[in-house]
Structure 1
Amino acid sequence: MPGQQNFYATPTLVGQPGPPGGPGQPAAGYPYGQQGPYPTVPPPPPSGGGGAGRAVLWVAVGAVVASAAWAAGVFLAGGKGADADLRGYTAPANLCSSTDYSSFETEYPDDDGTPTHNSLKDAALEESYCSINLKKTGSSYADAYLSTQVDLHKETDPGPEFTAMWKNYRERYPGYDVETVEDIGEEAYLVSEDTTSGTTSGSLYATLAVRDGWTTYTMSYSTYLSSYDEDKDPPSLEQVTDWLKADSKTTLDQIKD
């Protein structure tokens, strides 16, 4: 697919859904920080008695040993410093050329001739992003918006933070629904919000977030009734959910070595 390609000099934040900020706007990001916890030296025993100084010394020595054991455990368990488990995925310079959205083409048959894409390659993170305008037949402007993003975490296991953020998404945004999705990657969640029922100004939003090893992936769809012509209706949430699942599986297969 044609498009523009930009290379960033510094790592960006991994995409996540949030309350839509407007048509075509990319979602807000979230950071993957370093995993903890970190060891601390316990307080010394109460003063007094000839053995107090020796007790403090042994506490300090014990803390050093514990720190070394903790660091070794993190390395062996797959924390920072371990080999990245990328499962064979790549982050292509033009993710749009590898993004399958054929499930959406019956609803939106008009091709977006200029999808937006960018990418990042860094020792810690490789990232690719694609944004596509979806159009119904005869539409002058986009009727809906689709984006995909893949992140290869090359130094830190994203698993704990990925699970915490997506599985508990409603704790931050109570209006959203969260569903665990089976048979896609190691774990996957569907986050959605549908306010279109019986209104003329509602919106439909859904993101499928997938983690497979140290690779994370999202495909997001959004539409606003205000962007639709009066004689055109948006798809149902159930349809969008099925499309996201089918096209994400194909896309993930296409970005593997």
Structure 2
Amino acid sequence: MLWAAVGAVVASAAWAVAFLALDAGKDDADLRGYTAAANLCGKADHSSFDDEYPDDSGSPTHNSLKDTALDQSYCSLNLKKTTSSYADAYLTLQLDLHKRTDPGPEFRAVWKKYGDLHDGYDVDTVDGIGDEAYLVSQDTTGDTTSGSRYATLAVRDGWMTWTMTYSSYLTSYDEDKDPPELDEVTDWLKTDTESTLEALRD
């Protein structure tokens, strides 16, 4: 009976420590005033892409999550040139508010070392956006008639993390509908990320 009682006390103490740690994490969450919009597509700025893709293909897709541990907003857009019948490129955006744990170490591991797990991608550090930001890109078009262009800007600002991803596929293009160069795309991602994050602060 004594060992059972001791075991119960230890278990209760461990549970209390875990509960207090979670509660402390909530109090210490460094959210920098960001909110997770119910409709991120309605709040996000993607105007830098408008000259290249003035039309959209179908309705944007969006969803959101509210939880004691995590708030999340997601948006997916199909981008289309005026001469196209179908989407020519895709834009996805996601904001996460980590309310229990600091996402910094895992964010850095995923994005700074993205090339260690995925072959053929370039990873560059981006200064001046949030606490840290990384640009991951890949261009497989070369001189061929097929391939893709891809770029993700990943940002961490306190316990908020953000990704904005562009992708296009050369097989969907005629000669007069070449996709923009990656340098252009990455500039657009930076510009629209900064304006969107500003809009998502209280």
Question: TM-score of the superposition, structure 2-length normalised?
Answer: 0.86
Count the aligned residue pairs.
185
- Residue of structure 1 equivalent to 2:141: 196
- Determine helix, strand or coil for the equivalent of 1:183: coil
- Determine helix, strand or coil for the equivalent of 1:249: helix
Which is higher, the Rg of structure 1 or of structure 2? 1
Query: Which residue identity does 2:127 align to in structure 1?
Result: E
- Residue of structure 2 equivalent to 1:93: 38
The answer to whether 1:145 aligns with 2:56 is: no
Query: Which residue identity does 1:194 align to in structure 2?
Result: D
- Residue of structure 2 equivalent to 1:250: 195
Offset of 1:232 from its aligned partner? Answer: 1.3
Name the structure where strand makes up a greater proportion of residues: 2
Query: Which residue identity does 2:29 align to in structure 1?
Result: A
**Deviation digits for residues 177-230 of structure 1, max 9, x if unmatched?**
000001000100000000112111110000000000000000000000011123
Which of residues 125, 128, 132 is equivalent to 1:187? 132
The answer to whether 1:114 aligns with 2:114 is: no
**Deviation digits for residues 1-36 of structure 1, max 9, x if unmatched?**
xxxxxxxxxxxxxxxxxxxxxxxxxxxxxxxxxxxx
- Determine helix, strand or coil for the equivalent of 2:195: helix
For structure 2, list consecutive stretches of 5 or more residues without a partner in the other structure: 1-13
- Residue of structure 1 equivalent to 2:120: 175
Let me know the Cα RMSD of the aligned residues: 2.0
Separation in structure 1 between the aligned mates of residue 123 and residue 70 of structure 2, nearest angstrom: 27
- Residue of structure 2 equivalent to 1:24: none
Separation in structure 1 between the aligned mates of residue 26 and residue 90 of structure 2, nearest angstrom: 38
- Residue of structure 1 equivalent to 2:11: none
- Determine helix, strand or coil for the equivalent of 1:93: coil
Q: How does 1:20-31 map to 2 (within 5 A)?
A: none
Identical amino acids, percent of aligned pairs: 69
Query: Which residue identity does 2:103 align to in structure 1?
Result: P
- Determine helix, strand or coil for the equivalent of 2:166: strand
Name the structure where helix makes up a greater proportion of residues: 2
Separation in structure 2 between the aligned mates of residue 139 and residue 151 of structure 1, nearest angstrom: 33
CA contact under 8 A between 2:56 and 2:77: conserved in structure 1? no
- Residue of structure 1 equivalent to 2:182: 237
Question: TM-score of the superposition, structure 1-length normalised?
Answer: 0.68
Separation in structure 1 between the aligned mates of residue 157 and residue 150 of structure 2, nearest angstrom: 23
Which of residues 112, 127, 130 is equivalent to 2:75? 130
Q: How does 1:198-237 map to 2 (within 5 A)?
A: 198-237=143-182
- Determine helix, strand or coil for the equivalent of 2:175: coil
- Determine helix, strand or coil for the equivalent of 2:28: coil
Query: Which residue identity does 1:158 align to in structure 2?
Result: P
Separation in structure 2 between the aligned mates of residue 81 and residue 219 of structure 1, nearest angstrom: 26
